[in-house]
Structure 1
């Protein structure tokens, strides 16, 4: 497991808000107030990932304010990214005022004041999101360039923003199964995806290091493959064209990141694994094997049987009988 979990329900009711405030002040120094301080509820997992910290959290309507005086008193020299998953937030920062909605990404500079508050629309709404604190020195952009995007809401539903958002959500979901030894590598991935996302919104891909561009491309390729496994036309030339890279560069990426496994071999393995899950699913017992094969991108029965046997050592029929 990575990180430590804070649950307000584990603290006496009269101490919950104070504990929440003290915990957050250590990572994101700010003034915190809430109209629910007497019946406060919140959950947060602090996940140190090397120099990067991720913090999936949920809380009742709360107001966070970092004044100019607080900036002068202490500045951790960080950028603070937030992915909003549920609820709405109003943000005043860097001369901008934005209303942030679910799946929005926004960036705050710890060297500037901000005012972040839950939207009060008359409904009691728990706010849910994932925060990331990253030292400024880890990002390949000068402060005057990053200033252009501070305080703005950007969609996390498409492009590199979607990759970044999905990775942050996955961190929270897999926190119990991840090991402390994974943390530094995961922090490197988060910083790389954040850099790639900033490069996209700033239209400044040239500022990325070759390693960061390569990691971002690889994450995009993997996401594309997973989305299109059911398409029988999915093949290396299609993947390369979709990412505006050469076929030779795609194969070189796989040699470096998949220990020699080819693009076609990965696609075949993932398809077979998906078909295996369906064949072992009792609720799909009545679905013909050929239908499952076609669903996972194998229109020819002989190709499916050969690929399936190479992974499981059994024919699809034998595998289904054994599992059911």
Structure 2
């Protein structure tokens, strides 16, 4: 197993959000991210690489993440993501369905289809456990 971890608080506040965007594009898949917390974005990402399976554990403030057809054409790692939402809530629109995920809910979604996700952090922020199946993302 290979483990990598990242904490935006290791960077100056003005650089955190841009770095988070670039890092998640590289390690997961390209998305458009926006947040009311962009000026001082405090987030963590822990990746566990087991070879055939990669597990990501992000912790972050409220944000919006969208995967557009244009981004899919640019780069599609052809992943199925199994996400368990242990803290906070997430509204997801994916393949014609709108879902609201609450703690302990489970969702499966594909990087090959557009999605729009709105994460609402609770008092302790938002955290999620995501298992990536398929052609794993590669760091560039």
TM > 0.5:
yes
C-alpha contact 1:61 1:127 (8 A) present in aligned 2: yes
C-alpha contact 1:61 1:125 (8 A) present in aligned 2: no
The superposition leaves residues 90-119 of structure 1 with CA deviations (integer Å, 9 ceiling, x where unpaired) of: 000010001100011111111100001124
Q: Going by fraction, where is helix more abundant, 1 or 2? A: 1
Q: Report the TM-score, using the length of structure 2 for normalisation.
A: 0.88
Q: Report the TM-score, using the length of structure 1 for normalisation.
A: 0.39
Equivalent position of 1:114 in the other structure: 115
Distance 2:30 2:95 in 1: 17
Equivalent position of 1:133 in the other structure: 132
Distance 1:92 1:125 in 2: 24
Equivalent position of 2:92 in the other structure: 91
Equivalent position of 1:51 in the other structure: 52
Equivalent position of 2:10 in the other structure: 10
Higher relative contact order (CA 8 A, sep 6+): 2
Equivalent position of 1:39 in the other structure: 40
**Deviation (angstroms), 1:125:** 5.8
The superposition leaves residues 165-218 of structure 1 with CA deviations (integer Å, 9 ceiling, x where unpaired) of: xxxxxxxxxxxxxxxxxxxxxxxxxxxxxxxxxxxxxxxxxxxxxxxxxxxxxx
Give unpaired runs (5+ residues) of structure 1: 137-324
The superposition leaves residues 75-98 of structure 1 with CA deviations (integer Å, 9 ceiling, x where unpaired) of: 111101111010001000010001
RMSD: 1.8
The superposition leaves residues 45-80 of structure 1 with CA deviations (integer Å, 9 ceiling, x where unpaired) of: 111110321111210001110001111222111101
Q: Secondary structure of 1:35's match?
A: coil
Distance 1:13 1:4 in 2: 21
- 4+ residue segments displaced more than 6 Å: none
